[in-house]
């Protein structure tokens, strides 16, 4: 005798319907039979893609009816899929297989959204028959519909929402425009900065009071017979105040001859070198005062 009074219930997993977030929903609907002779009834699993739906792009939802035992115990009939006003729905062919000892009948629906936003998924009701509900003359192959399914029990999935996010192309375009504007602004700023006149670095003026003290110290070295220290001091003074390369070279040579070769310049050479440094200091002082 055929069982009567079948109905479907659905247990919905937690869902996040905020735009832009991935969907990860598992909806399981269990068919219940009020007859005391009922066995392990088919279960309906709904698998929603992790990625968000995009406008004008196919979005596939998978429905799987599973049961254990003999595959001929139940026959899955064509599903009833509701229509939507925010896109188109295409029902794909049904596939039957065995997975981990479970009989699995898989059916997919393909939704092509035409709008952006959050919408209710289409209603889905899967009809089925048990082997006890079919006479030998009406026996059907699992997954195939019998001639009359008007009184068939069903598995129903509770409605859930689908978020349709804008296509990523405009995000790349807006990001590219922003980067281009930023690079343009940086280029303009760099060119403007390069065109501005750069400040000239002024050479610090010598401290002539200290130079006079150094000249006095050099004279004292000469009086003390410390000719190496004498020429070392004159060389340092000349390098600090004069741009006369010939004078500086002469003093450096005298310093090397006295300090490392044991030579002693004549008194006339010593007097001449000292006066040359004094004149270089005087020229530099006059130049700084007229600047």
For the segment 48-106, what is each residue's pLDDT rounded down to a tens digit? 998 889 999 999 999 998 998 888 888 888 888 988 999 999 999 888 999 998 999 99
pLDDT computed for residue 78 by the predictor: 83
Report the pLDDT averaged over residues 102-117.
92
**Burial of 43 by CB count in 10 Å (0-12 exposed, 13-18 middle, 19+ buried)?**
middle
Distance (Å, rounded) from C-alpha 90 to C-alpha 83? 10
Residue 116 β-bridge partners: none
pLDDT-derived band at 223 (thresholds 50, 70, 90) equals very high
- Residue-range domain boundaries for the chain: 7-166, 208-290
For the segment 12-53, what is each residue's pLDDT rounded down to a tens digit? 333 444 444 444 444 444 333 333 334 468 888 899 998 889
Which range of 36-45, 132-141, 203-212 scores highest in mean pLDDT? It is: 203-212
Distance (Å, rounded) from C-alpha 127 to C-alpha 75? 9
Distance (Å, rounded) from C-alpha 154 to C-alpha 135? 19
Whether 96 and 142 have beta carbons less than 8 Å apart is answered as yes
pLDDT computed for residue 235 by the predictor: 93
Cα angle: 190, vertex 194, 199; to 5 degrees = 135
pLDDT-derived band at 230 (thresholds 50, 70, 90) equals very high
Distance (Å, rounded) from C-alpha 264 to C-alpha 8? 120
Report the pLDDT averaged over residues 227-233.
92
Report the greatest alpha carbon distance in the chain. Answer: 142
Q: 6-10, 192-196, 242-246: which range is least confident on average?
A: 6-10
- Quote the tokens at residue 285: 């002082």
pLDDT computed for residue 17 by the predictor: 45
Cα angle: 42, vertex 47, 48; to 5 degrees = 150
pLDDT computed for residue 15 by the predictor: 41
- For the chain, the distance separating the N- and C-terminal CA atoms, rounded to the nearest angstrom, is 122
For the segment 234-262, what is each residue's pLDDT rounded down to a tens digit? 999 989 888 889 999 999 999 999 988 88
Element (H, E) at 223: helix 208-223
Q: Please state, rounded to an integer, the average pLDDT across all residues of the chain.
A: 77
Whether 55 and 167 have beta carbons less than 8 Å apart is answered as yes
Report the pLDDT averaged over residues 159-164.
88
Closest CA to 63 of 85, 92, 84: 92
pTM of the model: 0.44
């Amino acid at each position: 005798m055929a069982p009567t009074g079948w109905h479907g219930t659905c247990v919905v997993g937690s869902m996040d319907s905020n735009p832009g977030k991935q969907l990860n929903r598992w909806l399981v609907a269990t068919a219940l039979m009020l007859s005391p002779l009922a066995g392990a009834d088919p279960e309906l699993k709904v698998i929603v893609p992790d990625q968000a739906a995009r406008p004008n792009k196919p979005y596939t939802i998978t429905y799987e009816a599973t049961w254990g035992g003999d595959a001929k115990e139940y026959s899955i009939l064509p599903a009833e899929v509701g229509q939507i006003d925010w896109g188109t729905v295409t029902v794909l062919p049904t596939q039957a297989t065995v997975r981990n000892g479970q009989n699995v009948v898989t059916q997919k629906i393909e939704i092509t959204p035409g709008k952006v936003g959050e919408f209710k998924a289409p209603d889905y009701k899967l009809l089925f028959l048990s082997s006890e509900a079919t006479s030998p003359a009406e026996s059907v192959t699992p997954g195939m519909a019998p001639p009359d399914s008007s009184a068939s029990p069903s598995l129903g999935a509770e409605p859930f929402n689908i978020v349709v996010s804008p296509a990523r192309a405009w995000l790349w375009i807006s990001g590219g425009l922003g980067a281009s504007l930023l690079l343009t602004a940086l280029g303009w700023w760099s060119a403007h900065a390069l065109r501005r006149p750069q400040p000239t670095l002024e050479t610090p003026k010598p401290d002539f009071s200290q130079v006079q003290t150094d000249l006095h110290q050099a004279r004292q070295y000469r009086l003390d017979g410390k000719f190496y220290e004498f020429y070392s001091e004159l060389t340092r003074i000349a390098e600090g105040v004069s741009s006369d390369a010939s004078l500086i070279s002469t003093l450096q040579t005298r310093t090397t001859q006295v300090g490392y070769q044991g030579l002693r310049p004549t008194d006339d050479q010593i007097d001449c070198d000292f006066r040359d440094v004094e004149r270089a200091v005087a020229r530099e002082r006059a130049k700084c005062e007229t600047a």
